[in-house]
Amino acid sequence: MKFFADTAEIAEIRELAATGLLDGVTTNPSLIHKSGRDFLEVVREIAAVVPGPVSAEVVALDYDGMMREAEILRKIGKNITIKVPLTPDGLKVCKALTGDGTMVNVTLCFSAAQALLAAKAGASFISPFVGRHDDVGFDGMALISDIRLIYDNYDFDTEILVASVRHPMHVVEAAKMGADVMTAPPKIIHQLFKHPLTDAGIAGFLKDWEATGQKIG
């Protein structure tokens, strides 16, 4: 499963990229607004750091507006993925852009029916929001399972990009279900390293080593 970071903070992206764990980045207008920086400047900088897909979201809601914004964004680099909403106009844009060789991430997916439409429109990625689904009393991971089944039934090339990840178990469950990608805030990715038995084991090894009085090198 590919790991994308859901952030617009370049320092966090550089830190994760250095670990070799980062396969791409997802951004949105809200994340870039929190950074306090210029939208295009941030996207350009991220695309230069991360060789994998970098999702940059359009803000227009009509077909012509989304296409104009997409044209500006995709000039930033070949790894730019245009992020569009799951609306009729958004899927029309998806079809046009993927037909022209541009990667498209269809976002704000909350049903298997919507995911089916996105795949038929040629989406490179579909972004089901599991955390937001959980927030309103639905099972976000059941949605991932349904999408995986449908996509496998028809051999769709669209990759399932699990979004709105709230905790490490979302990541583990997504991996068990065969999701292609997960995107999470850097703090969630760092939490994947954590386990109390690992910490206890390291502490025990260090205590025993110090008792020997030896040094390496």
**Model pLDDT for residues 161-201, shown as the tens digit of each residue:** 999 999 999 999 999 999 999 999 999 999 999 999 999 99
| Residue 208: predicted pLDDT | 92
| Residue 94: predicted pLDDT | 98
| Residue 13: predicted pLDDT | 96
Radius of gyration, alpha carbons of the chain? 20
Q: Are 60 and 66 in contact, with CB atoms under 8 Å apart?
A: yes
CA quadruple 79, 107, 41, 184: dihedral sign: negative
- Let me know if 194 is a catalytic residue: no
Tokens of 35: 């950074």
The string of DSSP codes covering 129-161 is: BHHHHHHTTS-HHHHHHHHHHHHHHHT---EEE
Contacts of 178 (CB under 8 A, 6+ apart): 148, 160
Given the residues 2, 83, 176, 194, select the one marked as catalytic.
83
- DSSP 3-state of 59: coil
CA quadruple 30, 138, 191, 19: dihedral sign: negative
Q: Which amino acid is at 62?
A: D
* Phi and psi at residue 62, to the nearest 5°: -100, 160
Given a cut of 70, the residues of the chain with pLDDT beneath it are none
Give the DSSP letter of residue 192.
T
- Nearest CA among 18, 111, 7, 89 for reference residue 55: 7
| Residue 96: predicted pLDDT | 98
Q: Are 3 and 40 in contact, with CB atoms under 8 Å apart?
A: no
**Beta-sheet pairing, 80-85 with 54-57:** parallel
Give the DSSP letter of residue 214.
-
Total-model pTM: 0.94
